[in-house]
């Protein structure tokens, strides 16, 4: 059973409950070779605090002593590990040596009988060089065996492996078929040869294809991914579990893993590592250790670095800086950069899970930053939802003229505060109408002054598309050299109320959908502004408090009065989460909505969206922020769905107007 | 006295000898406020192993108790620090508070009298917003005071501060004037306000302007640079010393420094730090420490992280990966990326110090990688020195078609092995003739398959320029889709000897200058090739061994026979280091050349160049590799100038032909 605790896009921190305790994901399971143990499992548990490991049931089964002990005392006692044990089935051995002498039913039953927490189907390892036809047939066999295994698994959790070689449609099809079976964990298999040859762009395609097909309430395990270089990227794409034999294999070759690559001990010119294994050593003392001790020390180093990298990615997720971390990590090797650049092809899928806003600022790290889904979100919503106001249009250029921190500076903001002229700022996000300039990620972004060619061309292309779409006649070009001219072209009237109203409308349309502004602002609008910043805080219509603007991300929080207007104006299930009767009273008291109480919701809602919680009769029950998207809401049997900010007593406003 | 130990471009590892021991640079000097000590100097020395610190003589002088003790027992006993102590003069106080009540001669004499190892002139802090005129006047005062101080310094080493606000020519002029004075260390001053406002592009201009003017045998200290974010970049540009008060200041604000930025303790979601200060703590336990203890713990953390970052940059220098490290670090903030991008404007200067080759591979990290001086070096030498061969020209495209690791793959190499056709490969470095395809950095580079727009456009521009320059008629366009066509267009004769000869000539011209190929190959040429790789190993002319090709970087090592030919063909001092008579016999025995024995050398030589060591009569004494460039050779009074590979007995070949 998986419960989502925190998320950022596809990336997530979850709790996986197993028969031997809980795992907080993303998690790395060290691989233990039961015939050749590098680091004792007890040390992994107690000193490293690993709560899970993976071992190989095929090896145990083929060794008489191990088999006998595993069957009589269980695999946990065999390995002396009290945490979660996952076992592989022999599939990797079939990849390495061509064949294995065991049937699927035998090895699944064996895993169950030795008390494995998570046992794995004997899937067919689909090699990257296989034809489509051969791959498709192999996937069918894997699906068949998975079905067979579900009947045998007993109380053991079952890992059903997504296969399909490098064919994304076969991967997605395989994943989708398994989503309907009684499977608990989904390894993505057959990817080791791709990682060994640094084919990270293909890896990205495969992970995303698998995620598209899978049931989002089950953990995804990237089988054989054990290098800290790839963890951040894989976590960004929603991988929850990793396993690593590399820590030991690399150590045997005198190689040290780091989050930026691998270094052979002989090539290092300094040991700049403070991990518990290295801190007692200088580079020289490490080199002089006896073979076995050096190998173990390097293996411990590799595990520490790997574990720390997962912890760092988790922290970045929580701090809202995971994209920045991934973009930084992918500079470590040009092949990883190819993987990063491949994300561009998947931005529509990624945008489905992209939160409305996040806490961290948007830091540009290179042209790739503009392919993040939050940029695509802005581009799409701006083109789809924004309506051109009646005023004259002026265009300003951000590039090179203003200090860091804002897409443009106070000067442009000042000259735009006129009802006669409407200001459009050229930014790396494309054209930004002045009404949207406080929205995430526009105002929360940092770019270099000097942009790369890709960014400049992108800006120009977006401007052309926008001008064409909106049938704009551009009146004045502001290029940083002609401030006075622009200022003279503007009547700098003192009244900015019309501009403020245009902002409220534009943000409403952007956030809630086209037409939302008119619904919410129908009547006599008045604004409460912050005395310190002069920014809009509250929107009142006919004296009732309808919306509050958030200083952090520039979006609105809905008030019950506003929710009533949207309920009336927008057909169900738009902007709604519909809860079952058992939940209604709790939510009216301001308690959160849990996924098992949800009947349905608007499929367009994204994480962190403002959402109206309603009962089956469309009566308003509460207002809150969305945690899950619809697919997840349907799939998760446990956990938070909507973080309620305000419960609404019965006889809600929507019914009384 | 400074001695250069290792270098990569402007970056260098040196040993600075002071009255209280040696400092290995790059080095960070923690700032000690003598009235408010955060971490005791004894702990800095013994536990952190800092061998130097900086404190403020103005503060000591203004505090009666401190002054009395400093004058009677010396500043080392005052602070209980046995290592090198540098003192500042009060200039920073004048920047902060407008004025100081001391004269230059008083504070210089005071520093001398308290036994400071490195004392600082009371320079004028030139603020970034100052006019050119005001700055220029202030620089004159600083120069005047520096001259005054040289007369007062006694045995104290003197720090003469380069000022000049944001005016590169004033900075360079100030530096050049000081280069003639008896100054020992050169802080670059007045940069704190630039770093505080993240104006890293201006900082780059200032550092480079200062380096241009300064005497290269004196250490350069970036005054007030104490954030690990900037260390790698500043080290790349040749800064040797840093000082940091930030470790304590930031700690007082509950801020932790990392090489990728600063985090407030309250914003952190995880403490992913294994430094000796943090390793005993969880994030929670750190937050719960009493104020004073928490502050000290964070200060220790900040020092550990800073020290480790300097160590890491040193290791990267030694491993040949400093550019990659800098490009990675500069992704941490868009303003740093602006600093990185500014290097493009200085590539001609940087290329003067760029080694012929380095051990590490060239890893592309983004479009900025193509502005590295090694790329500019290839572009320049290729355009200036390469001669088009008589064969038909074919053009191949690298982009997107071949695996990582080589600019192009074995297939193109194979089809080019024909004397009838000459192959030119399009790569991110521009067009690469097949004869140059094994040279650093071409063959030692890794690029993504999918290049960014900037790189693609650059490739095309270079190709156009090249085709025009060489008056090429391009016969066949090979685009990866038409391999068969290209293969058919080529007569794939078995003899590749002409192609091999073309390679030898092209590499000679590229490495030693135009005409070198003809000089070296004049006669009956035969080649010895590797049996395993089929690559050229030795070049014999008229039976004599003239050149050996290095497998690592594709360049030639000179043999005495070859050197003789170059001595005859090229006028002195081309490719030569001229040593004085005291050195000749040592070098003939194969011993290295030290800078104090050098009379002159070819100003065009770059680090790692093959060089002929000759006596005053132009007789060959030895062959080796260049460590210093000419400016450095003249300036350094100590240390290695040429690493001799082979001494040559008297009666050298050049004289006998």
Between B434 and A576, name the one with better pLDDT. A576
Would an 8 Å CB–CB cutoff place B150 in contact with chain A?
Answer: no
Exposed, middle or buried: residue A405 (CB in 10 Å: 0-12, 13-18, 19+)? middle
CA atoms within 13 A on the CB side of B506: 24
Residue B587 predicted with pLDDT over 70: yes
Contact A257, A227 (CB under 8 A): yes
Residue A119 — pLDDT band, cuts 50, 70, 90? very high
- Tokens read off for A483: 């401030």
Question: How far is the C-alpha of B298 from the C-alpha of B38, rounded, in Å?
Answer: 10
Average pLDDT of A91-98? 86
CA distance A187 to chain B (A): 28
Would an 8 Å CB–CB cutoff place A266 in contact with chain B?
Answer: no
Closest CA relative to residue B554, chosen from B433, B457, B398, B641: B433
Residue B70 predicted with pLDDT over 50: yes
What rounded mean pLDDT belongs to chain A?
90
Would an 8 Å CB–CB cutoff place B280 in contact with chain A?
Answer: no
User: Dihedral of CA A435/A436/A442/A443: which sign?
Assistant: positive
Which pLDDT score, from 0 to 100, does residue B425 have? 73
Residue B95 — pLDDT band, cuts 50, 70, 90? confident
Average pLDDT of A122-147? 97
Would an 8 Å CB–CB cutoff place A473 in contact with chain B?
Answer: no
Question: How far is the C-alpha of A50 from the C-alpha of B14, rounded, in Å?
Answer: 44
Closest partner CB to B367 (pick from A312, A452, A457): A452
Residue B612 predicted with pLDDT over 60: yes
Tens digits of residue pLDDT in A158-194: 999 999 999 999 999 999 999 999 999 999 999 999 9
Residue B179 predicted with pLDDT over 90: yes
Question: How far is the C-alpha of A263 from the C-alpha of A302, rounded, in Å?
Answer: 11
- Tokens read off for A181: 């079976």
DSSP symbols for A287-353: HTS-HHHHHHHHHHHHHHHHHHHHHHHHHHHHHT-HHHHHHHHTTS-HHHHHHHHHGGGGHHHHHHH
Would an 8 Å CB–CB cutoff place A478 in contact with chain B?
Answer: no
Residue A650 — pLDDT band, cuts 50, 70, 90? confident
H/E run at residue B262: strand B261-264
Which pLDDT score, from 0 to 100, does residue A461 have? 81
Phi-psi region of B102 (alpha: psi -120 to 50; beta: other; left: phi over 0): beta
Which pLDDT score, from 0 to 100, does residue A656 have? 46
Packed helices A291-319 and A228-236: angle between N→C axes, nearest 10 degrees: 20
CA distance A20 to chain B (A): 25
Which residues of chain A neighbour B446 with C-beta distances below 8 Å? 333-335
Which pLDDT score, from 0 to 100, does residue B391 have? 62
- Tokens read off for B115: 């036994």
Question: How far is the C-alpha of B505 from the C-alpha of B547, rounded, in Å?
Answer: 11
Which pLDDT score, from 0 to 100, does residue A425 have? 73
What stretches of A403-480 adopt beta strand conformation (E)? 421-427, 430-433, 445-446, 476-478
Would an 8 Å CB–CB cutoff place B453 in contact with chain A?
Answer: yes
Which residues of chain A neighbour B448 with C-beta distances below 8 Å? 334-335, 337-338, 341
Given an 8 Å threshold on Cβ–Cβ distance, is B274 in contact with A308?
A: yes
Question: How far is the C-alpha of A457 from the C-alpha of A442, rounded, in Å?
Answer: 18
Question: How far is the C-alpha of B454 from the C-alpha of B369, rounded, in Å?
Answer: 11
Tens digits of residue pLDDT in A496-537: 677 788 889 999 999 999 999 999 999 999 999 998 888 899
pTM: 0.92
Tens digits of residue pLDDT in B474-515: 444 444 444 444 444 443 443 467 778 888 999 999 999 999
Which residues of chain B neighbour A301 with C-beta distances below 8 Å? none
**Cα–chain center distance at B219:** 13
Q: Residue A169 catalytic? A: no
Which pLDDT score, from 0 to 100, does residue B290 have? 97
Residue B543 predicted with pLDDT over 70: yes
ipTM for the predicted complex comes to: 0.90
Question: How far is the C-alpha of A248 from the C-alpha of A264, rounded, in Å?
Answer: 14
Among all chains, which residue has been given the structure tokens 């536990």? B47
Between B407 and A44, name the one with better pLDDT. A44
Which pLDDT score, from 0 to 100, does residue A63 have? 96
Residue A213 predicted with pLDDT over 60: yes
Choosing from A8, A63, A88, A129, the catalytic residue is: A88
Contact A122, A102 (CB under 8 A): yes
Would an 8 Å CB–CB cutoff place A332 in contact with chain B?
Answer: yes
Which pLDDT score, from 0 to 100, does residue B419 have? 52
- Reply yes or no: is the peptide bond before residue A606 cis, omega within 30 of 0: no
Would an 8 Å CB–CB cutoff place B276 in contact with chain A?
Answer: yes
Question: How far is the C-alpha of A400 from the C-alpha of A428, rounded, in Å?
Answer: 11
Q: Provide the percentage of residues in chain A whose pLDDT is more than 70.
A: 89
Residue A655 — pLDDT band, cuts 50, 70, 90? very low
Tens digits of residue pLDDT in A383-428: 899 987 766 655 555 444 343 333 333 344 444 445 555 667 777 8
Which residues of chain B neighbour A344 with C-beta distances below 8 Å? none
Contact B146, B183 (CB under 8 A): yes
Lowest mean pLDDT among A304-318, B343-357, B437-451, B573-587: B437-451
Which residues of chain B neighbour A335 with C-beta distances below 8 Å? 404, 446, 448
CA distance B364 to chain A (A): 6
The SS3 of residue A397 is strand
Lowest mean pLDDT among A134-148, A272-286, A458-472, B535-549: A458-472
Which pLDDT score, from 0 to 100, does residue A484 have? 45
Packed helices B228-236 and B334-342: angle between N→C axes, nearest 10 degrees: 10
- The set of residues, in sequence order, having a beta carbon less than 8 Å from that of A466 and lying 6+ positions away, is A382, A383, A430, A431, A472
Closest CA relative to residue A448, chosen from B633, B337, B249, B122: B337
Question: How far is the C-alpha of A476 from the C-alpha of A303, rounded, in Å?
Answer: 60
Tens digits of residue pLDDT in B106-157: 999 999 999 999 999 999 999 999 999 999 999 999 999 999 999 999 999 9
- Pairing outcome for strands A186-188 and A220-222: parallel
Segment 173-232 of chain A within 8 Å of chain B by CB: 197-198, 201
Tens digits of residue pLDDT in A23-39: 999 999 999 999 999 99
Choosing from B8, B88, B202, B254, the catalytic residue is: B88
Which residues of chain A neighbour B366 with C-beta distances below 8 Å? 331, 337, 366-367
Specify which residues A472 forms β-bridges with.
none
Given an 8 Å threshold on Cβ–Cβ distance, is A269 in contact with B319?
A: yes
CA distance A329 to chain B (A): 8
Contact B126, B190 (CB under 8 A): yes
Closest partner CB to A367 (pick from B318, B338, B452): B452
Closest partner CB to A272 (pick from B276, B311, B364): B311
Between B435 and B194, name the one with better pLDDT. B194
What rounded mean pLDDT belongs to chain B?
90
Would an 8 Å CB–CB cutoff place B484 in contact with chain A?
Answer: no
Residue A96 — pLDDT band, cuts 50, 70, 90? confident
Exposed, middle or buried: residue A44 (CB in 10 Å: 0-12, 13-18, 19+)? buried
Lowest mean pLDDT among A163-172, A386-395, B187-196, B258-267: A386-395
Closest CA relative to residue A444, chosen from A515, A378, A388, A518: A378
């Amino acid at each position: 059973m998986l419960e989502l605790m925190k998320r950022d896009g596809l990336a997530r921190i979850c709790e996986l409950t197993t028969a031997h305790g809980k795992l907080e994901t993303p998690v790395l399971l060290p691989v233990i070779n039961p015939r050749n143990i590098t680091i004792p499992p007890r040390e992994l548990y107690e000193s490293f605090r690993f709560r899970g490991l993976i071992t190989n049931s095929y090896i145990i089964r083929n060794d008489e002593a191990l088999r006998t002990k595993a069957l009589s005392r269980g695999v946990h006692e065999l390995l002396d590990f009290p945490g979660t044990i996952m076992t592989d089935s022999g599939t990797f051995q079939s990849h390495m040596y061509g064949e294995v002498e065991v049937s699927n039913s035998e090895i699944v039953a064996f895993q169950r009988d030795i008390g494995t927490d998570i046992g794995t189907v004997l899937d067919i390892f689909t090699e990257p060089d296989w034809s489509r036809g051969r791959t498709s047939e192999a996937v069918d066999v894997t699906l068949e065996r998975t079905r067979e295994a579900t009947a045998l698994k007993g109380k053991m959790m079952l890992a059903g492996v997504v296969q399909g070689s490098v064919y994304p449609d076969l991967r997605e099809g395989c994943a989708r078929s398994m989503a309907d079976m009684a499977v608990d964990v989904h390894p993505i298999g057959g990817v080791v040869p791709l990682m060994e040859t640094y084919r990270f762009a293909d890896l990205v395609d495969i992970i995303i294809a698998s995620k598209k097909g899978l049931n989002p309430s089950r953990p995804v395990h990237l089988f054989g991914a054990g290098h800290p270089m790839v963890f951040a990227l894989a976590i960004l794409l929603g991988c929850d579990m990793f396993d690593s034999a590399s820590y030991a294999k690399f150590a045997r070759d005198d190689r040290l893993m780091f989050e930026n690559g691998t270094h052979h001990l002989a090539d290092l010119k300094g040991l700049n590592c403070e991990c518990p294994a290295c801190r007692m050593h200088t580079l020289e003392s490490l080199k002089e250790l006896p073979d076995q001790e050096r190998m173990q020390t390097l293996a411990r180093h590799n595990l520490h670095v790997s574990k720390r990298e997962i912890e760092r990615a988790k922290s970045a997720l929580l701090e809202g800086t995971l994209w920045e971390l991934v973009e930084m990590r992918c500079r470590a090797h040009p092949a990883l950069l190819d993987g990063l650049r491949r994300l561009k092809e998947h931005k529509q899928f990624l945008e489905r899970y992209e939160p409305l806003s996040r806490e961290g600022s948007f830091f540009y790290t290179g042209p790739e930053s503009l392919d993040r889904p939050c940029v695509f979100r802005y581009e799409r919503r701006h083109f789809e939802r924004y309506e051109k106001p009646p005023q004259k249009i002026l265009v300003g250029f951000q590039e090179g003229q203003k200090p860091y921190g804002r897409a443009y500076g106070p000067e442009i903001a000042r000259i735009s505060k006129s009802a006669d002229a409407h200001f459009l700022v050229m930014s790396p996000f494309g054209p930004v109408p002045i009404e949207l300039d406080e929205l995430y990620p526009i105002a929360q972004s940092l770019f270099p002054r000097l942009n790369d060619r890709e960014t400049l061309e992108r800006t120009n292309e977006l401007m052309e598309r926008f001008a064409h779409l909106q049938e704009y006649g551009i009146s004045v070009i502001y290029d940083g050299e002609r401030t006075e001219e622009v200022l003279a072209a503007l009547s700098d009237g003192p009244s900015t109320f019309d501009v403020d109203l245009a902002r409220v409308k534009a943000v409403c349309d952007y956030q809630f959908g086209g037409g939302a502004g008119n619904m919410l602002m129908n009547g006599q609008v008045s604004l409460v502004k912050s005395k310190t910043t002069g920014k809009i805080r509250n929107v009142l219509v006919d004296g009732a408090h309808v919306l509050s603007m958030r200083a952090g991300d520039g979006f609105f929080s809905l008030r019950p009065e506003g929710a009533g207007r949207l309920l009336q104006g927008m057909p169900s299930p738009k902007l709604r989460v519909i809860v079952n009767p058992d939940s209604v009273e709790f939510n009216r008291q301001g308690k959160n909505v849990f996924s098992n109480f949800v009947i349905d919701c608007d499929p367009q809602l994204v994480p962190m969206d403002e959402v109206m919680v309603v009962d089956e009769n469309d009566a308003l029950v509460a207002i809150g922020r969305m945690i899950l998207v619809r697919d997840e809401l349907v799939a998760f049997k446990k956990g938070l769905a909507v973080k309620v900010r305000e419960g609404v007593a019965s006889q809600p406003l929507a019914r009384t107007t």
